[in-house]
Amino acid sequence: MAKGSFFGLFGSKPKSNQESKPEAEEKADDKAKQNEEEQASAPAETKQVEPEQPQSEPQQSQPKPTEAETPPESDPQPEQEPESVAAALAPDAAEVCAQVTAEVAAREAPAKRPTRKGLWSRLTDGLRKTSDSIGEGLFGLFRDKQIDDELFEDLETQLLTADLGVPTTTRIVKRLTQQANRKQLKDAEALYELLQEDMAEILAPVDRPLVIPTQDGPFVILMVGVNGVGKTTTIGKLAQQFKREGKSVMLAAGDTFRAAAVEQLQVWGERNDIPVIAQHTGADSASVIYDAVEAAKARNVDVLIADTAGRLQNKAHLMDELKKVVRVMKKLDVNAPHEVMLTLDAGTGQNAISQTKLFTEAVGITGITLTKLDGTAKGGIIFAIADQFAIPIRYIGVGEGLEDLRPFVAKEFVNALFRRDQQQQ
């Protein structure tokens, strides 16, 4: 083989090594650069992750600061006390505060008297059922009618239905018939006006309010009546009204037979800061009232109201016990009782007539309180009582409120019954 060929054979190899070395170096350099870039990028990524970790931790621990912040939020609440004290109080304290406020309001409430218009509205509302029977019922009867026998027959039926009773109804119809003939009336509505005048005249003689004079010793009111007529409630309301007028009042729990009667009267006394003289249930009623009269005289009380047990008017021995009470009172004051007030339930109708008769015979009734007129359409009984007995009607009850027990005024009663003067002030 020739020498040239030998070098020619191997000459190309070193040349290729020389040529490949730069390529390898370039690859190595490239790889080194990649490594450097990777190394450079690795810290960069680490630096980016590290700040994220502290951010992620607070996100997970956010509920903890919320729990820690809750107690401090409750601390500033007392700063709101000047705006709303009750809101910051405990539930029990708030209830007590509300109760005290209610009691204070209840004590201050009686000082606010209803307006004249308010009293008139209460009266007309209380007499609505009786008014529907008498006032509006009669108005419809007379409207666009001729005066004849049929009209008077219908009038008689209407008055009897309203519980005026046979004697009073007969008297009214007879008088109207005479007036119609004498005045030659042809218009039934004019006769209706005469009817109102006649009914007002029946009530006028009993329109005598109770007057308590200034005297030495207490003015003694003896309350009588059968069970269930509202006697004890009437006593409580009268006591409140007298106290409003500036009078000193005492109560005597003389109903020692009915269960809880003594306690009921004591509750009325406690509510209104009025002393109550009482003994145990079953005690002698005359003894209780005797002690009460003595106590009232010793304390210079203005008014003594004595309760008694409800009695059936057809039981002679019970009425005898009531007579005993009157005799015992007269041992301390010959003029006592100064008022014997009979309480009647308007809803009992004609039975109220027999009650009035027998109680008058037993102890001499000097005044009447007619209760529960708001609950009956038969309030016409008041005309029968006034017509047959002429006993003063002191009070009428037309509702549950204190102001609903009101002094009887005949003109106002008739106006309310016939729905006249609706705009009274």
271 a known binding residue? Answer: no
Report the distance separating Cα 365 and Cα 359, nearest Å.
7
Cross-strand pairs, 222 = 306, 340
* Residue 399: Cβ-neighbour burial (10 angstroms; 0-12, 13-18, 19+): middle
Report the distance separating Cα 264 and Cα 227, nearest Å.
14
Residues 6 or more apart from 119 whose CB is under 8 A from it?
Answer: 403, 406
310 a known binding residue? Answer: yes
Token code pair at residue 265: 């009267």
85 a known binding residue? Answer: no
230 a known binding residue? Answer: yes
309 a known binding residue? Answer: yes
231 a known binding residue? Answer: yes
Q: Give, for 149, the enclosing helix (H) or strand (E).
A: helix 149-161
The 3-state DSSP class for residue 272 equals: helix
* Residue 160: Cβ-neighbour burial (10 angstroms; 0-12, 13-18, 19+): middle
229 a known binding residue? Answer: yes
66 a known binding residue? Answer: no
Asked whether 331 and 290 are in contact (CB, 8 A), the reply is: yes
The 3-state DSSP class for residue 342 equals: strand
Neighbours of 359 (CB within 10 A): 23
Token code pair at residue 284: 């002698």
372 a known binding residue? Answer: yes
Pairing between β-strand 303-306 and β-strand 276-277 as defined by DSSP bridges: unpaired
75 a known binding residue? Answer: no
Of 374, 416, 370, 422, whose CA–CA distance to 126 is shortest? 374
169 a known binding residue? Answer: no
373 a known binding residue? Answer: yes
Asked whether 133 and 127 are in contact (CB, 8 A), the reply is: no
- Compute φ and ψ for 409, nearest 5 degrees: -125, 115
Cis previous bond, 51, omega within 30: no
379 a known binding residue? Answer: no
| Residue stretches of the annotated binding site for GTP | 225-232, 307-311, 371-374
| Residue stretches of the annotated binding site | 225-232, 307-311, 371-374
